[in-house]
């Protein structure tokens, strides 16, 4: 299967859709945010500095990003394709990624832009809860996304947590950063003929359906 890049503003449901694709097609889901959170969880001064930068909502330096990404996509489970979520975030990262792909003899695949309005995104951010065990995403403010028992994952019984960077102030900075740095990528990939679009304002089921048509070339198996 082709590699997939998902591009979206914060809280567009990108992580949820990537997780659904991972479950159905067994493609590794590489979330740059998760790779960074893992790298920032240690006691070293690098890890602590990284945690501070992430909480500020600013983008992390490209050398750190590329080194984490290179290690991850060289793992054997990425040989048959992978879903990239949260990378590239700007044109510089897109160019660096193309060089990396050429070196590793891998191809870019399909770039999918997920659309969501700012209002819907804000609601998703401030109510978002993630299972610490299986990473299923819930939302305290959206009825169909609430867990059956508050604070507990329906899927595995794991404990639900709020991400420390999911607050209104950080959201505003991240949304602005997206418009300034990441949105120009859409034009960049459109010119290359690699760009596809999915609307996730209504429901994740509709969005997933559109996504499947794109990655399978129109055929889905249910
Ligand atoms: P996310 O989980 O994708 O919302 O990312 C959380 C934070 O990690 C962002 O606010 C940035 O500080 C950082 N981050 C994630 N992906 C990247 C990237 N591709 N380049 C730079 N910083 C990133």
pTM for this entry: 0.81
Q: What is the mean pLDDT of the chain?
A: 91
Q: Are 120 and 9 in contact (CB under 8 A)?
A: no
CA–CA dist 104, 117 (Å, integer): 36
The 3-state DSSP class for residue 5 equals: strand
Residue 32: name the closest of 52, 8, 2, 56 by CA: 8
For 172-210, what is each residue's pLDDT tens digit? Answer: 888 888 899 889 999 999 999 999 999 998 888 999 999
For 39-73, what is each residue's pLDDT tens digit? Answer: 999 899 999 999 999 888 778 999 999 999 999 99
Q: Which helix (H) or strand (E) holds 197?
A: strand 195-199
- For residue 159, the model assigns a pLDDT of 96
* Of 85, 86, 91, best ligand 1 pocket probe by most atoms within 8 Å of the beta carbon: 86
Residue located nearest, by CA, to atom 12 of ligand 1: 54
Residue the block writes with tokens 């819907």:
120
* Residue 74, CA distances (Å) to 22, 37, 45, 83 in order: 18, 20, 27, 14
Residues with CB under 6 A from ligand 1: 10, 32-33, 36, 54, 57-60, 65, 86-87, 89, 93, 165, 174
Range from 28-32, 64-68, 141-145 carrying the lowest mean pLDDT: 141-145
Q: Which atom of ligand 1 is nearest to the CA of 85?
A: 3
Region of 193 on the Ramachandran plot (φ > 0 left; ψ -120 to 50 alpha; else beta): left
**Ligand 1 centroid – CA 174 distance (Å):** 9
Write down how long the chain is.
222
- For residue 79, the model assigns a pLDDT of 94
């Amino acid at each position: 299967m082709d590699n997939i890049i998902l591009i979206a503003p914060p809280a567009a449901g990108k992580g949820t859709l990537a997780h659904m694709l991972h479950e159905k097609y067994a493609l590794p889901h590489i979330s740059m945010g998760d790779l960074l959170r893992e790298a920032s969880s240690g006691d070293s001064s690098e890890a602590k500095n990284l945690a501070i930068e992430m909480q500020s909502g600013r983008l992390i330096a490209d050398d750190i990003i590329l080194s984490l990404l290179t290690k991850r996509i060289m793992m054997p489970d990425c040989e048959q394709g992978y879903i990239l979520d949260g990378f590239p975030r700007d044109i510089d990262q897109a160019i660096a990624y193309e060089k990396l792909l050429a070196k590793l003899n891998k191809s870019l695949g399909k770039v999918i832009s997920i659309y969501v309005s700012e209002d819907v995104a804000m609601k998703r951010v401030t109510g978002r809860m993630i299972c610490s065990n299986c990473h299923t995403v819930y939302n305290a403010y959206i009825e169909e996304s609430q867990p059956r028992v508050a604070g507990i994952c329906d899927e595995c019984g794991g404990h639900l947590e709020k991400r420390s960077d999911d607050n209104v102030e950080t959201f505003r900075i991240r949304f602005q950063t997206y418009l300034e740095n990441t949105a120009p990528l859409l034009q960049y990939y459109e010119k290359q003929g690699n760009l596809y679009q999915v609307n996730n304002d209504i429901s994740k089921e509709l969005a997933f359906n559109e996504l499947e048509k794109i990655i399978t070339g129109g055929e889905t198996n249910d």
